[in-house]
Structure 1
């Protein structure tokens, strides 16, 4: 996995939610809607990363949903300071980390969390960043009957494979940066060809001039990245407001 998956910036802000349990996993939860839930699947910095918690708070407030960020790395945390420290970044045992947190290892936990939310809430969505990208596609797979989630959204997904795209069975939103080795032009073309062919609602948002990680680790002091981040938040909020509140009401 390229360095882009652990590069970026740590944001300012103080999370306002609390820690709880979801499907026997530690989880951050924020918001207080008893009917609408959003499962946020984190990137490589995990569930304690300030950025992911601050973003969850904003989603909870603007989408009007209860947002859960479970720990899908078994308590293992990449220190957030590494996000700007290239020397320490080079020392990371990324192959070992990914082996311990592979799809085979973590998929059952991710689906268990989606099932727990489906059992409790009327509407459920899933949003994933980087590592969480492949996972939201698994949550929305056609093998789940009834569906575990009502819709999904992902920004700069990593490790996404063709069969996961082909098996999707719920409305999909993708936020795609122009420069992204993990979400290549070929994979973008595949998504843009396969998903519409299924007759599914599909919202593909292209972000020129920015790179992998912009939506969860972008530089708020860089005008282009900040604009992309703000636009990305607006896209996610509008998507889930429609599918979790307006659609079917």
Structure 2
């Protein structure tokens, strides 16, 4: 389920270096490796509630391209109804404000939350996300190396596509993605989202203090995905003292939190390198 932490955090400084293109019908932030470097494959980021224009998500895309040598796409999956960046300040004021001020900031937060959830509840958004991956697979071919990295809202979509979801290419089924990563996923159903029907290896990065994923549920996920036979064996990494959103919206001025966010980036890149090696 969604929680206040899904809409809180920190906005990062930086100027993304990629470009905006139209890809399979969607506006998409695209960035590739440094000049002269050959992409190892494609990463599609399915973002948190703040969407494709949120600077943190674009900087993360740059990091995957720079540190992993991948072509990275961050599409506009939310039909212009991403949570507005201003919700971060509204949620901070709602949580820390006085009793008198809380109703004001609650109302302000709801003006961003309601359009987001009405347009992007999973039942509505998943067909859009799935259609993009179908078109991408058809365009790139059955042998292309395609990975998906999903955060919060986006994590659920990665998990749904990991359950034997294919598209026909030359009369044969091809998987929409070869490997998945999810950071602090929301809306998870356990054990359903990690059940035996998974046909894609998925790596999880979870904050120890994530209210949406209590310890018993995390251990249940770990037990299921780590017991799968190779090459479908998954992994679960729990980050001590980290809360929901740390992969994307961690406060970069706090040294320990910044290190955890960087470690999660490395976890994702290492996982994709392992499963997409040439």
**1:108 match:** 127
Work out the number of aligned pairs and report it.
246
Contact 2:251–2:257 (CA under 8 A) maintained in structure 1: yes
**2:43 match:** 38
Contact 2:165–2:176 (CA under 8 A) maintained in structure 1: no
Residue-by-residue CA offset, 1:179-226 (whole Å, 9 max, x unaligned): 112222232122112223332222211100110011100011112211
Greater shift, 124-133 or 143-152, is seen at 143-152
Residue-by-residue CA offset, 1:45-86 (whole Å, 9 max, x unaligned): 011000000110110122211111111110123332332333
Compute the displacement of 1:34 (Å): 6.2
**Residue 194 of structure 2: which of 160, 165, 168 is its match?**
165
Report 1:3-42 matches (<5 A): 3-31=4-32, 36-42=41-47
- 1:92 has 2:106 as partner: no
**Residue 137 of structure 2: which of 109, 114, 118 is its match?**
118
- 1:230 has 2:255 as partner: no
CA distance in 2, matches of 1:187, 1:99: 27
Greater shift, 101-110 or 18-27, is seen at 18-27
Root-mean-square deviation (CA, aligned residues, Å) is 1.8
- 1:62 has 2:67 as partner: yes
Superposition TM-score, scaled by structure 2 size: 0.83
The structure that has the greater radius of gyration is: 2
Superposition TM-score, scaled by structure 1 size: 0.92
Q: Point out where structure 2 has 5 or more consecutive residues left out of the alignment.
A: 95-104, 167-172
Compute the displacement of 1:99 (Å): 2.7
Structure 1 203/25 Cα, relative in aligned 2: closer, same or farther at 3 Å? same
Contact 1:27–1:69 (CA under 8 A) maintained in structure 2: yes
